[in-house]
């Protein structure tokens, strides 16, 4: 029997609650499709700070590197907000992605048809099956560039730097082209090339690469226009490829189109098969411990894990179908509740998904 080693980084806030449900779902799918998952739990974020004083302990990195995939809940919370930036839980998040060489973040913004009403956009704007994939660069750009404080003629000032080299741009755009090839063969490269030099290099590079993907229709869009187009006409998009900071903002915007941040999965990938899978939402400290968090984004992240790291396509499909099924039957967590549907707790939602896996 095939076995895969999965590191669980439950993290903070609702992290442990949602990961616990996702693990049960993975086990059920694995048992039906004939493989076994071995789990190791490690510390990240606030939980790691409390235990070790730092957000990303060395043995977390070592264990993740040895694994086949990593499942992350979420990190962060009020308790650690006053710590210096490099010691905050979020530093652990950026650090683990970087340590594992995960430079591509794949974020689907997909609407399950029973949740169409949850979208703040009109039905005619979202259409039948809205399905956008945002491919975001993860380990470069302004979040990792030089930064500092300085004295600007007596006025306190600060700066951050956006920098990309051609290799960084090539490898993320390659992921974008490859994803487009598997989908509707449309790739939109989003930048700010009218202002930023780094964006002009990005645009030159992606244009040059397009020759190798003659079947993919490449287009370009400025990030401000893209932010607008995502709410004006989201159906025009298939795959969007963009930088770290633009992708961070656009994927949150896209998540709202689909109705709930609690529904959206993500995969972070590098050159090999190892990937880190996590919901796009945070640790939701406002609802932590209440047992009402939506576990579906984490469960759908496991489906992405099966697809991208294990090539267990059938098991991945089974999880996604189970989620669709449960929604079809009118089961909801509080965040996606609409009149006439049944509200379930985090645990109850996990059980419904498990029961629907076939």
Stretch that binds ligand NAD, among 122-130, 137-145, 187-195, 274-282 (CB under 6 A): 274-282
Residues in the chain, overall count: 358
Q: Which of 14, 10, 6, 19 is nearest to 293 (CA)?
A: 14
Stretch that binds ligand NAD, among 28-36, 176-184, 219-227, 290-298 (CB under 6 A): 290-298
Note whether 24 and 354 are within 8 A (CB).
yes
Catalytic residues: 143, 192, 224, 248, 252
Total residues at interface with ligand NAD (CB under 6 A): 21
Binding test (CB under 6 A) with ligand NAD, winner from 105, 282, 327, 353: 282
Residue 347: burial class (beta carbons within 10 Å; 0-12, 13-18, 19+): middle
**Residue 244 C-beta: closest distance to ligand NAD, Å:** 14
Give, as one character, the DSSP assignment of residue 309.
T
Q: Which of 155, 128, 158 is nearest to 142 (CA)?
A: 158
Stretch that binds ligand NAD, among 164-172, 231-239, 283-291, 308-316 (CB under 6 A): 283-291
- Rounded alpha-carbon distances, angstroms, from residue 31 to 2, 19, 52, 221: 11, 18, 36, 45
β pairing state of 275-279 and 69-74: parallel
The site map against ligand NAD for 92-131 (x = CB under 6 A) is -x--------------------------------------
**Residue 101 C-beta: closest distance to ligand NAD, Å:** 18
The site map against ligand NAD for 148-187 (x = CB under 6 A) is ----------------------------------------
Q: What is the DSSP string of 205-254?
A: HHHHHGGG-TTSEEEEEEHHHHHHHHHH-GGG-SEEEE-HHHHHHHHHHH
**Residue 78 C-beta: closest distance to ligand NAD, Å:** 8
Binding test (CB under 6 A) with ligand NAD, winner from 285, 337, 341, 347: 285
CA distance linking residue 187 with residue 209, whole number of Å: 12
Stretch that binds ligand NAD, among 63-71, 127-135, 168-176, 289-297 (CB under 6 A): 289-297
Q: Report the residue number, 11 or 270, with the smaller CB distance to ligand NAD.
A: 11
CA distance linking residue 198 with residue 137, whole number of Å: 13
**Residue 312 C-beta: closest distance to ligand NAD, Å:** 24
The site map against ligand NAD for 40-79 (x = CB under 6 A) is ----------------------------------xxxx--
CA distance linking residue 202 with residue 51, whole number of Å: 41
Contact status: 335 vs ligand NAD (CB under 6 A): yes
Q: Report the residue number, 205 or 260, with the smaller CB distance to ligand NAD.
A: 260
Q: Report the residue number, 217 or 348, with the smaller CB distance to ligand NAD.
A: 348
- State phi, psi for 135 to the nearest 5 degrees: -105, 110
Six token digits for residue 156 = 């306190």
Q: What residue ranges bind ligand NAD (CB under 6 A)?
A: 14, 74-77, 90, 93, 261-262, 278, 281-287, 293-294, 297, 335
């Amino acid at each position: 029997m095939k076995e895969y080693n999965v590191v669980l980084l439950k993290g903070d806030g609702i992290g442990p609650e949602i990961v616990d449900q996702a693990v049960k779902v993975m086990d059920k799918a694995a048992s039906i499709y004939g493989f076994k998952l071995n789990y190791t739990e490690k510390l990240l974020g606030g939980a790691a700070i409390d235990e070790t004083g730092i957000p990303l302990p060395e043995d977390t990195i070592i264990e993740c590197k040895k694994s086949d995939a990593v499942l992350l809940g979420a990190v962060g919370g009020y308790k650690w907000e006053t710590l210096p930036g490099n010691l905050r839980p979020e530093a652990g998040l950026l650090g683990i992605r970087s340590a594992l060489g995960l430079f591509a973040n794949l974020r689907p913004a997909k609407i399950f048809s029973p949740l169409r009403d949850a979208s703040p956009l009109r039905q005619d704007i979202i259409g039948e099956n809205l399905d956008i994939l945002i491919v975001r660069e993860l380990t470069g750009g302004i979040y990792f560039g030089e930064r500092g404080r300085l004295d600007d003629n007596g006025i306190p000032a600060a700066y951050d730097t956006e920098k990309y080299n051609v290799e960084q741009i090539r490898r993320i755009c390659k992921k974008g082209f490859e994803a487009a090839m598997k989908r509707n063969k449309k790739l939109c490269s989003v930048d700010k090339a009218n202002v930023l030099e780094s964006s002009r290099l990005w645009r030159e590079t992606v244009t040059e690469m397009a020759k190798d993907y003659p079947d993919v229709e490449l287009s370009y869009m400025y990030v401000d226009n893209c932010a607008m187009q995502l709410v004006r006409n989201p159906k025009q998009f298939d795959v969007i490829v963009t930088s770290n900071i633009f992708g961070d903002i656009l994927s949150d915007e896209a998540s709202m189109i689909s109705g709930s941040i609690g529904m959206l999965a993500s995969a972070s990938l590098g050159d090999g098969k190892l990937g880190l899978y996590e919901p796009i939402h945070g640790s939701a400290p406002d609802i932590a411990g209440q047992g009402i968090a939506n576990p579906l984004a984490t469960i759908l992240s496991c489906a992405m894990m099966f697809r991208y790291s294990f090539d267990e396509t059938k098991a991945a499909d089974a999880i996604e179908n189970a989620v669709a099924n449960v929604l079809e039957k009118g089961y909801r967590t509080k965040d996606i509740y609409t009149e006439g549907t049944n509200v379930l707790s985090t645990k109850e939602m996990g059980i419904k998904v498990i029961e629907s896996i076939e």
